[in-house]
């Protein structure tokens, strides 16, 4: 079987590299990647997968959607239209990939799969309402519609109704094999000190200011505590949120960027993992934390919410409400003072790319 991927978000995400690598065991793949900048043309590629990077996006295509469609479609038709080996077209977003892939697939007579991601459900639904009719046509033509989380499925149904329910499939992203190879079945040792760990780039969406405030509110009266931030520096924090109060700054450690071994070490030290983003497609880092038996505090209605019961591996919170985050932290530290486990098999193994590739092969591309 041969798959053509429309994947405008390949650059800047490791998810697609991992997915296409895992799919390599099952099918031949072409990957079409529209890009905006010349330096993106040399992005890391999956061995034995045929990539085509085309610099056809600009500030004008960002402003004029119909121009964007034309600029994306022309190279796709020139390159792939006469390729009879391609049986399935997989678009990895609805608005950037799905609508042009629909036009291509309809004219070329190909099967179409559409995946919706964070940019669709949290931005596209809000700002591309004028193209809802076109999105419906693409979704109607498709044979399967993939959502990355149960939370996104609910948002999809709230926006489009239930006309497409028989096509909907929830398929998660996978985590890097490194974390599965180093997965634990229980925490090595309980900690007397309460240590919160946050792993993410520092930006407003990751909601770090509210999260830090909530942590110190939840642990008020506790002397042995620390909030550790991996993924950015204090200078980066100040540029986005301003200075921390002195009493918080003294017990908040900014670690900068860490490699995977360093992240494992931080997860081993921590009492729980917390990231209450405003918007999250999936949030691989939550599953990475669970692989290390680290309980999680996560966002209600986003990312991993819905993959497991609230309280099973941690607690969810409203990202806009500091009291809600504080309560989730308190509940998590109370229920899981010694971490998650013991497990016969760590639950993170359900999120391996090998397993997910088999789902695509047997249930989506068939």
* Band (44; pLDDT cuts 50, 70, 90): confident
- Percent of the chain whose pLDDT exceeds 70: 99
* Structure letter (DSSP) for residue 122: I
Per-residue pLDDT at 359 = 96
Per-residue pLDDT at 270 = 96
Under 8 Å between Cβ of 275 and 286: yes
Q: Name the nearest CA neighbour of 339 among 220, 188, 156, 219.
A: 188
Q: What average pLDDT score do residues 120-140 get? A: 94
What is 297-351 written as a DSSP string?
EEETTSTTTTSS-TTTSEEEE-TT-HHHHHHHHHHHHHH-TT-SB--SS-GGGGG
190 pLDDT above the threshold of 70? no
What is 266-306 written as a DSSP string?
HHHH-SEEE---S--S--HHHHHHHHTT--EEEETTSTTTT
Under 8 Å between Cβ of 267 and 273: yes
Topology, domain 177-349: Rossmann fold (3.40.50)
Rounded to an integer, what is the distance from CA 124 to the centroid of its chain?
16
Under 8 Å between Cβ of 175 and 356: no
Per-residue pLDDT at 49 = 95
| Paired residues of 145 in beta bridges | 114, 168
Under 8 Å between Cβ of 281 and 123: no
Q: Name the nearest CA neighbour of 317 among 258, 276, 365.
A: 276
Under 8 Å between Cβ of 41 and 24: no
Counting every residue, how long is the chain? 366
Per-residue pLDDT at 38 = 82
Span 84-122, pLDDT tens digits: 999 999 999 999 999 999 999 999 999 999 999 988 998
Per-residue pLDDT at 189 = 64
Per-residue pLDDT at 333 = 95
Under DSSP, is residue 98 helix (H, G, I), strand (E, B) or coil? Answer: helix
Q: Is this prediction's pTM over 0.75?
A: yes
Under 8 Å between Cβ of 136 and 114: no
* Band (56; pLDDT cuts 50, 70, 90): confident
Mean pLDDT of the chain: 94
Q: Which CATH superfamily is domain 2-171 in?
A: Glycogen Phosphorylase B; (3.40.50.2000)
Under DSSP, is residue 13 helix (H, G, I), strand (E, B) or coil? Answer: coil
Left if phi > 0, otherwise alpha if psi is -120 to 50, otherwise beta: which for 303? left
Q: What average pLDDT score do residues 264-282 get? A: 94
Q: Name the nearest CA neighbour of 312 among 326, 302, 298, 301.
A: 298
Q: Which position has the token pair 């405003």?
A: 278
Q: What average pLDDT score do residues 160-170 get? A: 97
Spell out the domain ranges in the chain.
2-171, 177-349
Per-residue pLDDT at 244 = 97
Per-residue pLDDT at 281 = 77
Per-residue pLDDT at 282 = 84
How far apart are alpha carbons 309 and 262 in whole angstroms? 30
Q: What average pLDDT score do residues 284-290 get? A: 96
Per-residue pLDDT at 102 = 98
191 pLDDT above the threshold of 80? no
């Amino acid at each position: 079987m041969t798959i053509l991927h429309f994947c405008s978000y390949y650059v800047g995400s490791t998810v697609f590299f991992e997915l296409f690598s895992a799919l390599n065991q099952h099918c031949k793949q072409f990957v079409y990647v529209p890009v905006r900048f010349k330096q993106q043309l040399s992005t890391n590629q999956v061995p034995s997968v045929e990539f085509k990077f085309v610099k056809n996006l600009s500030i004008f295509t960002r402003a004029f959607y119909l121009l964007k469609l034309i600029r994306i479609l022309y190279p796709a038709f020139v390159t792939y239209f006469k390729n009879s080996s391609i049986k399935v077209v997989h678009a990895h977003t609805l608005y950037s990939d799905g609508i042009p892939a629909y036009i291509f697939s309809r004219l070329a007579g190909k099967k179409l799969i559409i995946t919706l991601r964070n940019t669709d459900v949290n931005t596209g639904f809000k700002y591309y309402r004028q193209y809802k009719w076109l999105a419906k046509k693409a979704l109607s033509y498709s044979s399967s519609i993939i959502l990355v989380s149960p939370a996104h499925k609910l948002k999809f149904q709230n926006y489009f109704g239930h006309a497409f329910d028989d096509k909907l499939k929830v398929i998660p992203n996978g985590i890097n094999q490194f974390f599965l190879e180093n997965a634990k079945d229980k925490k090595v040792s309980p900690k007397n000190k309460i240590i919160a760990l946050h792993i993410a780039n520092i930006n407003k969406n990751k909601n770090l200011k509210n999260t830090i405030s909530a942590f110190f509110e939840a642990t008020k009266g506790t002397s042995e505590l620390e909030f550790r931030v991996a993924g950015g520096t204090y200078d980066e924090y100040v540029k986005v949120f301003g200075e921390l109060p002195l009493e918080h700054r003294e017990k908040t450690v900014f670690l900068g960027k860490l490699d995977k071994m360093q992240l494992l070490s931080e997860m081993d030290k921590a009492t729980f993992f917390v990231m209450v983003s405003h918007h999250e497609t999936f949030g691989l880092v939550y599953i990475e934390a669970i692989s290390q038996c680290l309980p999680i505090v996560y966002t209600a209605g986003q990312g991993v919410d819905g993959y497991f019961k609230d309280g099973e591996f941690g607690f969810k919170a409203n990202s806009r409400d500091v009291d809600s985050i504080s309560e989730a932290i308190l509940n998590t530290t109370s229920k899981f003072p010694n971490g998650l486990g013991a497990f016969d098999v760590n639950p993170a193994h359900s999120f391996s790319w090998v397993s997910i590739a088999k789902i695509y092969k047997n249930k989506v591309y068939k």
